[in-house]
Structure 1
Amino acid sequence: MSNQTVFLTFSGIIPPGARKLAERLSSQQATPQKGEQVRLNILAVSFVNSYLQYMGFETDLEASDSWNPVQQLLMDVADLSLKNLGSLECRPVLEGEELVYVPPEVQSNRIGYVAVQISKSFREAKLLGFFKEVSTDLLPLIQLSSLENLLEYLEDLTQLNTAKLALQSQISSTFTNLKQWFENIIDTGWQEIEFLLADQAIYADSNLRNTRSTFMSRGKLVAFEQDNFEKTVVLVVTLTPESEQETDIIVEIHPTKDEIYLPANLQLQILDFEGACVMEAQTRSTNKNIQLQFSGETGELFSVKLVLGDTSTIENFAI
């Protein structure tokens, strides 16, 4: 018996509607060369779209740059948007060619690259295989990974995305999303600090903020039961965006308007996503506030823990 690896491909008829669309869009281009490029790109994307829909994957042609007339004109683009997964580049290859061309403008922001062989009649196509990543313009077809590997890869991405969405749903119900504060989406209980702090505290508090850029502050009342009495403090969180990915964060504790000092031995802790304490501060007998400052990246999780005597409370945050 011979021990051969079966290399899965797929051949079929290009949908008539796709052929008509490719012909129409091709005729609208400024040069024959650009027209041919648009024709082949549309045929390749349409064929991959039909195949992946048949295999059970959700696609969105309208969200693809290859379906945008302006992007067709400005770029050599043949992407297919897969819902919740990203864009898959569908690069056309003519019969007899041994290399697939991947333009520099599409060598990033793609979940993969499929080589699609288009027949000379423009009526049939064949999925030859795929690359997960590319770093050069011309790639030998003999280096393609099997189409079967593409299906497994997309299935893995789908499962990861499902898990990610489930985690995001869990986070949204138990974590305060700080990025949403800048969209004026504020969780219940968080208020503007002017309603919670005395004027002097607000003035002192403002000196802690980075006034060189936009910031957002919100406060929340936190109560502790101590010796049959309720002691309340104000938790203040201030956000200062440093970049699209990084945010400076100040966490402060203040007394309420009716008090001058914070309770003695009040502990402020910053916990990482695993619950380990990474920063802490503690009041003495005459502290008017305590604060901790740090930076975090978009998507990071952290918690603020307040401890007074044998009672504690935790607020969870997503950056």
Structure 2
Amino acid sequence: MAQTTHRVDDLGIKLPITQAACKFAQQFANQQPNPVKAEQVRLNTLAIWVVNDYLQMMEIPTNLSVGDSWNPVMQLCSNVADLEITSIGRLECRPIKLDEQTCLMPPETWEDRVGYVVVQVDESLQEANLLGFIQSVNSEFLPLHQLQPLEKLIDRIAHLKTSPVQTLVNLSQWLVGQVDAAWQTVESLRELLESKPNYAFRGSVTTEESSTHQPPAPTKRAKLIDLGIQIANQPLMLIVEISPEPEMKTSIRLQLHPTGNQVYLPEGVKLTVLDESGEIFLEAQARSADNYIQLQFRGEIQEKFIVAISLDDMSIREHFII
């Protein structure tokens, strides 16, 4: 009886791994605390770089250095290999080695992704094979036979260009303990940053006391925001604090802090609140010696708004619903 073996590598697209890719991958690997983590970061970086090369060949614009995978802190604390596709969202680029029949899909990558590409990296680190695409995952190990051709990725991107999907952060869910993994407590994020001294959180979180009624037990969460080469890969910390108020109102306070060896925010960085239509509602801009900027406002249940952090021509947006 003849045995038939499904070979997904025959369906893939092989591309060379450039010297620039190897250089960055080795640089990131050298920053890791042990060989296992170094190898993980090296392969993740190579997978991202090759997918980025492929998308550039297809004339699809990307932002290589914006994703969590390019953030030294996130490299240390998670296993992500995300690539930002301009105006579309984050594509996960998962590496595998030769002869592996399943691909690891860490739970932290299951949300906020437009899809997943599996990249088979040659042992010589000279060539990679883009094996295929899948739009969503819900388990930690993906069998390779479930992959679809890369044409499905191009179709997916084309569809999202005409009907972009925005991930809404539901603030009301925070009040009952349902918080997306991307948003951590200020304390846990500070501990994470301080575990890697070059990226420590500088200064204390400002919580000014008001002479008026102060709502009890505010809920506060934080997220790292990376504006890429605009600030030399030093992530900023965005803190969102919410407090319920009478008559179905919610008080919202936003703060933007520096991390790393920066005492002050980059001069000119802006923290902006926009309404659902995209009109500017509030805005603060850092001066030459601001160690944080903040905005505070009130909203109603089900009201949507956008928070933008921008510097020069780079802007990161987070979409919220109260």
Taking structure 2 as the reference length, what is the TM-score of the superposition? Answer: 0.50
Where does structure 1 lack aligned partners over 5 or more consecutive residues? 1-5, 165-210, 214-237, 245-293, 300-318
TM-fit CA distance, 1:295: 5.4
Partner of 2:128: 125
TM-fit CA distance, 1:160: 1.7
Partner of 1:240: 249
Partner of 2:93: 90
Distance 2:252 2:137 in 1: 28
Distance 2:155 2:28 in 1: 34
Match of 2:29 among 26, 29, 47: 26
Residue 17, structure 1, aligned to residue 20, structure 2 = yes
Runs of 4 or more, structure 1, over 2 Å off, are: 6-9, 238-244, 294-299
Distance 1:243 1:91 in 2: 37
Aligned length: 177
Partner of 1:110: 113
Match of 1:53 among 46, 51, 56: 56
Partner of 1:289: none
Distance 1:8 1:148 in 2: 11
**Relative contact order, higher structure (CA 8 A, sep 6+):** 2
**CA, structure 1 residues 243+131, in 2 after alignment: closer, same or farther (shift >3 Å)?**
farther
Give a deviation string over 1:279-314, Cα, whole Å, max 9, x none: xxxxxxxxxxxxxxx954427xxxxxxxxxxxxxxx
Give a deviation string over 1:146-176, Cα, whole Å, max 9, x none: 11111111111112239x9xxxxxxxxxxxx
**CA, structure 1 residues 156+25, in 2 after alignment: closer, same or farther (shift >3 Å)?**
same
What is the aligned-residue identity percentage?
A: 42
TM-fit CA distance, 1:10: 1.1
Where does structure 2 lack aligned partners over 5 or more consecutive residues? 1-7, 167-212, 216-246, 254-299, 306-321
CA RMSD of aligned residues (A): 3.0
Partner of 1:298: 304
1:8–1:148 Cα contact (<8 Å) kept: no
Mapping of residues 1-319 of structure 1, within 5 Å: 8-161=11-164, 240-241=249-250, 296-298=302-304
TM-fit CA distance, 1:114: 0.7
TM-fit CA distance, 1:19: 0.7
Distance 2:83 2:123 in 1: 23
Distance 1:135 1:31 in 2: 29
Taking structure 1 as the reference length, what is the TM-score of the superposition? Answer: 0.50
TM-fit CA distance, 1:63: 1.1
Helix, strand or coil for the counterpart of 1:62?
Answer: coil
Distance 2:138 2:80 in 1: 16
Greater C-alpha Rg: 1
Distance 2:120 2:17 in 1: 11
Distance 1:14 1:113 in 2: 19
